[in-house]
Amino acid sequence: MSERIYTKEVLHSERDVQFIKGVGPKRAHALKKLDIETAGDLLYHFPRRYLDRSTVANIADLKRGQQVTVVGKIESKNYIKTRRGGFFQLLIKDETDYMRCKWFNGAKYMQKLFKEGETVAFFGKIKYYKGYELIHPDYDKIEEENINTGRIVPLYASTAKLKKMYLNSKGFRRLFRKIFEKYSIDVEELLPKKIRQSQELPSVKTALQQIHFPDSKEKLKKARRRFIFEELFYLQLVMGLKRESVKAVKKQFEYQSPGKLLTGIYEKLPFELTDAQKRVVKEIWQDMKSDAVMNRLVQGDVGSGKTVVAVLAAAIAIGNGYQAAIMAPTEILAEQHYQNLKEMTRDLGINVVLLVGGQKKSQREEILEQIAENQANLIVGTHALIQDQVVIKKLTLVIIDEQHRFGVMQRGDLIEKGLNPDVLVMTATPIPRTMSMTLYGDMDISTIDETPARKGRIITKKVKPKTLTKVYQYTDQKIEEGHQAYVVYPLIEESEKMDLKAAEEGYKHLNQKIFQERELALLHGRMKNEEKEKVMQAFQNGEIDILVSTTVIEVGVDNPNANIMIIENAERYGLTQIHQLRGRVGRGEEDGVCVLIERNSSEKADKRIDILCSTSDGFQISREDLKLRGPGEFFSSKQHGYPKMKIADLIRDRKILKEADKEAQNLLKKDPHLRKKSHETVRKNLLKNYKQYMKFVDVL
């Protein structure tokens, strides 16, 4: 009797996820919420971390201060009320002993997350208070049988929607096990063979098997490195192609000389430029007089004088008979630029106009006509500048402020309105070189690394709510001496309505109970333009003593008389955001004081706030912020236009990034248009999966 030979069904990467065994229509619908539409998308849904049985600590062997993984069964759960609020507590047990896990700060909702009898892996630092405990640990629900097998267990991210479809971490493991048992995977190899060999990377099929069901730590490490490298390699290819495309573009205009207008503005400045500012202006002029289009980033700390540099660049374009446009991320910053630029260019024959949303129809139409007829020389605006009806007749210089707040597409839409214009990008979020290789890999970079000597210092202090009375007394005393103050409330996108309500209630409390004798005003992003302008002008004129605001003042507000800032719930901000905020004080001759109110203390929050109190160096703060929050959170969800990292981390994986960049640049040197047969897959993948990031790449 002959043996029956079973042949596995081939699973092509393009197959609709719905038709994979174990998925079906309902789960497919849920998976599409995670952008998982094909078998390939599903296979590239990597575990977020792993539980290695050999690294799980027994509760009986714990030591204070240890960073551990503990796996236990939930014996009981309860919410314990205290005078200061309360905390949620789990009692967990393994084969050796019991311990507690605690969550503070209104964690009542967590009672619904856990069930008695569940087996859960907890990750954190061991504390001791009448027994061992973990405070605010990370956790993953798992099935007990996997813990006893000694395997490395993959743990997957999930959502409430997916959990209803039984696609929690356990569900994903079952699904992937079925895929690898039932199917022969047909996934295209995206890395050229020579690169895989030089980097000693496993094939895509081997790596997929090992990343979902690793046989050993070593094989898992190799699989992860392969996919991290692949992600960064393609990212650096995109940057390299964009850079070459920019260099290939020739200008349709010419600047004869820096011009008298530049000299006129320079001579009007009430201060001397720093050496760093002078150096950067020279770098910009070298680019502008070249026949290749400028694509330059100017990065500098808060208050380093980027705006002055941008104005001098604009003066060159306008002095040669062309137009310049400055795009700002918020209407408040655009308004501030508009007022400052009008003052700086007064009596020099420059027509500065402001274009933002919500302007009166008649006013808007008049401005649009001036822009279209080259009567407006310097155009300041928000994303309103990129609307279809905006026609800029002789645009040769595009200046983009706080560029990480705009998407690649938005920047590109403004560039398309010009004559292949020069592009100057400004940011007060300085970043380390490894990050700039990726985020600004298509640009030349100038750094203003000096702060004008005329500025006062910024003294930053951390306080607890119980000392607020002294803070308010100090603020009142300073106002009596003729100064002004900010009180800032957080505005986080996910809880915008709640945050806005807190700001409104805070304003009411301060106005009616604390500073009854002072003039207060509230400023937030949902106000109408006219209201914002009215409040800002009154604050500028000294008619308002205390400006209560959300984070809309983060950039652009410039009032040298305001030298006190109180930031509420400082633990909710990133380091860079607070650094930007406190840059609003100390802008005159006197020192500024920034008070950080920490209402919900934690180890991470304490570390962040202590860094801010110890340094005012924006580059150091950015580095620390990146370490603490990672690049994704660092740039917030407003950062658009770059491929989303599925597995790579630009800080953690900086060594792999350098290798990926080297291989990408070598490939482009040998085959700049990716025409070789050996690079056909690379080219096809770029055009298919990276097209939106290469809107302005012409070399392919």
- Over the range 290-316, which residues count as b (16 or more CB within 10 Å of their CB) and which as e? eeebbbbbbbbbbbbbbbbbbbbbbbb
What is the amino acid identity at position 161?
K
Which DSSP letter does residue 250 get? B
pLDDT-based confidence at 531, cuts 50/70/90? Answer: confident
Does 640 have pLDDT greater than 70? no
Mean pLDDT of 405-414: 54
How much is the pLDDT for 148?
47
pLDDT at 493: 54
Token code pair at residue 466: 């119980």
- Tens of pLDDT, residue by residue over 265-290, are 988 888 889 999 999 999 999 999 99
H-type alpha helices, 249-274: 260-268
Torsion, CA 130, CA 131, CA 136, CA 139, rounded to 10 = -160
Please check whether residue 355 is in contact with residue 380, taking contact to mean a CB–CB distance below 8 angstroms. yes
**Is residue 312 over pLDDT 90?**
yes
Distance CA 182, CA 193 (A): 28
Calculate what percentage of the chain has a pLDDT beyond 90: 37
Residue 513 phi/psi, 5° resolution? -115, -30
| Listed ranges 212-226, 451-465, 591-605; the one with the highest mean pLDDT | 212-226
Q: Assign 667 a pLDDT band (cuts: 50, 70, 90).
A: very high
The per-residue pLDDT for range 196-249, each reduced to its tens digit, is 999 999 999 999 999 999 999 999 999 999 999 999 999 899 888 888 877 777
Question: What is the pTM for the complete model shown?
Answer: 0.69
Orientation of helix 680-689 relative to helix 217-248, angle to 10°: 80
**Is a pLDDT exceeding 80 seen at residue 61?**
yes
Which pLDDT belongs to residue 453?
67
- Helices within 143-259 (DSSP H only): 144-147, 160-164, 169-182, 193-199, 204-212, 217-248
Cα torsion 96, 102, 108, 112 to 10°: value is: -30
pLDDT of residue 323: 93
Whether 381 shows a pLDDT value over 70: the answer reads yes
Compute the average pLDDT of residues 372-381: 91
Q: What is the pLDDT of residue 638?
A: 41
The chain-wide mean pLDDT, for the chain, equals 84
Q: What is the pLDDT of residues 466-508, one digit of tens each?
A: 889 999 999 999 999 999 999 998 876 556 667 778 888 889 9
